Amino acid sequence: MDFQIPPGLTELMQDFTVLVLKEKPTDLVDFAANYFTKLKEEKKQYGDKKNTSKGVKFLESFSSDDEEPEPPQHRYDRRKSVCAEAYNPDDDDSDEEQVPVNPKSKAQRERLNQAVKNILLFKSLDLEQLNQVLDAMFERKTVIGDVIIRQGDDGDNFYVVDNGVFDIYVLVDGVDKKVGTYNNKGSFGELALMYNTPRAATIIASSEGTIWGLDRVTFRKILLKAAYQKRKMHEALIENVPMLKFLNEYERMNVADALESKSFKDGELIVKQGDEADNMYFIEKGRVCVKIARQGTNEEVEVTQLSDGQYFGELALVTHNPRAASIYSIGVCRVAALDVLAFERLLGPCMDVMKRNIGDYDEQLSKLGLKNRDLR
């Protein structure tokens, strides 16, 4: 199916995005909850009438930053933009060999790898897809005053900051207002490419620097398609996990979005007995074996094996105890990891089921002549 943007969504998300860029909240979920709660209260008080600032007055009342920065010298008028066609990843069967390749030196590629490693959009890519994206990205040197993207323009490229300082400006009541800065790291420009909307802000270089660009076609062909396919795969995985039957559709979607895929080679250690618990794991493809070490020895005993669709690592997160067993990959194995913070936030409805599983696990150990104290 095509992605259709509901009326009003673009303006709503642009206002919210601007405020996030300005305030840089540490807890985005809590910040969003407070923001939309206050927005709803404002709507009840003033109705649906739009004021002349297009929501900016509300943003300023929500923000604690009253400083008015100097407007940039670059003036611009927001021009009307025609949104591009809706993008349906299921219908995209284009040839991946058409992805452009921009040659890079070893040093350039190493710098680019460092620049993209913590960007959320890139985490859904496998190694082959990541290499395609890195091949396609092009280098752009910037000088002070360069306008990288302009508010109101159509989106053409996605950018990753290698080095340099880049200021974010938004047109507020006819004045360019500085709302944030990218300082030697970060990325921008993806919203216009993802949602076929005009640029929501202007980015201006305030120092010499280097950025990496990715064209619109490649961005959609690889990044958006990979993210879409990953989410569909994780949703299907979650639907097949009995423990997660207690979650409603919205909760399952949130869990799917929070999962991060990881691959392991044959015999590779995934979880080590005695370590502090940091993740729960769902098996996407392959098998793992569960082993425990007898107290006072290095001898490990295999307890069981797990395969596609099964999960492990939840017990230590429920009990807040160290890992009770070691988990090894059997052959090449790919798992989806859910970190402890997301686990506690998203899997509350399943906690009783997971606690019951502790009894089942103790029963398995008893059959092997072991007790819980042997594992700690």
Whether 36 is in a domain gets the answer no
Find the Cα–Cα–Cα–Cα dihedral 63, 69, 72, 76, rounded to 10°.
40
Residue 256 has pLDDT above 70, yes or no: yes
Average model confidence (pLDDT) for the chain?
76
CB 246 within 8 A of CB 270: no
Q: Are residues 268 and 322 in the same domain?
A: yes
Distances 218 to 30, 126, 226, 350 between C-alpha atoms, Å = 34, 16, 12, 40
Neighbouring C-beta atoms of residue 116, cutoff 10 Å = 21
Between 215 and 241, the higher pLDDT residue:
215
Q: Residues annotated as binding site? A: 190, 199, 314, 323
Q: Which residues pair with 170 in a beta bridge?
A: 177
Q: Are residues 205 and 265 in the same domain?
A: no
CA atoms of 140 and 200, how far apart (whole Å): 21
CATH of the domain at 284: 2.60.120.10
CB 293 within 8 A of CB 323: no
Whether 112 is in a domain gets the answer yes
Whether 35 is in a domain gets the answer no
Q: Are residues 322 and 282 in the same domain?
A: yes
pLDDT at position 269 is 95
Q: Are residues 361 and 252 in the same domain?
A: yes
Between 130 and 56, the higher pLDDT residue:
130
Whether 68 is in a domain gets the answer no
Q: For residue 240, what pLDDT band results from cuts at 50, 70 and 90?
A: confident
HSE on the CB side for 361, CA within 13 Å?
Answer: 18
Most confident stretch, 54-63, 156-165, 351-360: 156-165
Domain span at residue 327 reads 241-368
Q: Are residues 216 and 251 in the same domain?
A: no
8-51 tens-digit pLDDT: 666 677 677 767 766 667 777 878 887 888 777 767 665 554 44
pLDDT at position 212 is 93
Q: Are residues 208 and 246 in the same domain?
A: no
Q: Which residues contact 346 (CB under 8 A, 6 or more apart)?
A: 251, 254, 255, 258, 338
Specify the number of domains making up the chain. 2
Whether 82 is in a domain gets the answer no
pTM of the model: 0.51
Q: Are residues 246 and 163 in the same domain?
A: no
Selection from 12, 215, 172, 158 nearest residue 78 by Cα? 172
HSE on the CB side for 25, CA within 13 Å?
Answer: 17
Between 41 and 307, the higher pLDDT residue:
307
Mean of the pLDDT values across residues 292-297?
81
Percent of the chain with pLDDT over 90: 22
Q: Are residues 167 and 285 in the same domain?
A: no
Q: Are residues 211 and 129 in the same domain?
A: yes
Q: For residue 75, what pLDDT band results from cuts at 50, 70 and 90?
A: very low
Q: For residue 201, what pLDDT band results from cuts at 50, 70 and 90?
A: very high
pLDDT at position 54 is 40
145-199 tens-digit pLDDT: 999 999 999 888 999 999 999 999 999 888 899 999 999 988 998 887 777 788 9
Q: Are residues 252 and 353 in the same domain?
A: yes
CB 106 within 8 A of CB 225: no
CB 176 within 8 A of CB 72: yes
Whether 148 is in a domain gets the answer yes
Residue 305 has pLDDT above 70, yes or no: yes
Residue 106 has pLDDT above 70, yes or no: yes
Burial class (CB in 10 A: 0-12, 13-18, 19+), 32: middle
Q: Residues annotated as binding site for 3',5'-cyclic AMP? A: 190, 199, 314, 323
Q: Are residues 248 and 213 in the same domain?
A: no
